[in-house]
A = this chain, B = another copy of it.
């Protein structure tokens, strides 16, 4: 079915194409152009016809479905609701006015959905090399339970302000002094329900709509999303084996992962660190250092955070417990320049004048101050270190020609650059997919084109599974090696 919609005239009225399509389809259903029971074109067809992404079209269908205009039958497509004319509530349901912020958010969301369109392989035993959160079997549940119980026994306490439990902030300050060399006072530390809450609030504080913001490419998409939600213009910064390449960006905000670049794992050398700091000084800029993955080291000297070199109080250090605590435990934090403590607390207090999840915060403080957290870290580091070495050795043994791995002595991901061309990479991934092996394509982290590469997570997998996964990749690679010759 070819469906014609007067999309151009709708686009004049609505800021975003997906909103234009939404209203056009809605009106077509009201007008009877699309009759009750009629099948809508596939998202692919409509996307091609109106030059949109499939994700955007799919979002429009979701919106129509939420409104009750259409229904989807898995594998059969999307149909205009049969009983539409009798459904009074559908016809009178209001289309509510949204702010420009909301529209920006929704258009970002459509973009995000598109990047998430990942098909699951039909293979019966899937091996997933995408990084996972901590497996519960690796967490000392009994010790944690007793920390929770002790906190519970000690009674309810008056809730704290927006900054979070003071004992946990003290414990984090001590942990940072001990493990990262950061001299921060608890008063400079603000707790969040995850590092992304902190990053988003900092974006709101720092970014004026339309202003440029520097972010690494490849890099963490969450930051890009947070920046764009504030109307910031992302300037991609190039990354090589030595991490971000400093430049004379015309910007006042930089997001960077100096300790272990995400996702390449590159370590930023001292000279580049200094260059970033003098750039910031010259531009009167703020640097947000995301130390997302510094707890695990397999050898070598610990890498000094950028924050340690920060003489002018321009660096915001972001940390989290997402790699070391179970998935449903959410906690991140920021170490702030003194001048930003009050603004950030005011921002957080807008949403959370009283810090939530205090029970868990207090339990973590207890877990940390009594040494349980460090013991847990050491156990994990031993286990993950063995898996890291095993993964690297197996890859070198089985797939020596396929990938060049970024050397690294820390962190829970391994960055492997494909040695062939794009076409051979696509054949490889297709074969691998058929073998039931999943991994993160670095493509989705890029803001500008780059060579095909994969970001492997290994820490959640037992050695036998790692071996099996690599052997399947080997088999897939053999099917497409001819392109290397």
A residues engaging B (CB < 8 A)?
62-63, 66-68, 89, 92-102, 105-106, 108-109, 136, 139, 145, 148-149, 152, 155-159, 193-194, 196-197, 200-201, 204-208, 222, 225-226, 229-230, 252, 281, 284-286, 311-314, 326-328, 330-331, 337-343, 346-347, 350-360
Contacts and interface: CB of A to CB of B under 8 A. Distances in A.
Nearest to A89: B311
B201 A342 contact: no
A22 to B, nearest CB: 10
A57 B94 CA distance: 46
Contacts of A105: 205, 343, 346-347, 350
A182 to B, nearest CB: 15
Contacts of A313: 89, 93-94
B158 A327 contact: yes
Given A93-B338, A99-B205, A206-B102, A229 B350 contact: yes
26 contacts: A63-B342, A66-B338, A67-B339, A93-B312, A93-B313, A94-B284, A96-B284, A97-B285, A99-B204, A99-B230, A100-B208, A101-B230, A102-B347, A109-B342, A139-B156, A156-B328, A158-B327, A193-B351, A193-B356, A194-B352, A196-B352, A200-B350, A327-B354, A328-B358, A330-B354, A331-B356
Contacts of A339: 63, 66-67, 93-96
Given A92-B311, A109-B346, A159 B99 contact: no
Nearest to A208: B99
A320 to B, nearest CB: 12
A92 B312 contact: yes
A98 B360 contact: no
A347 B101 CA distance: 9
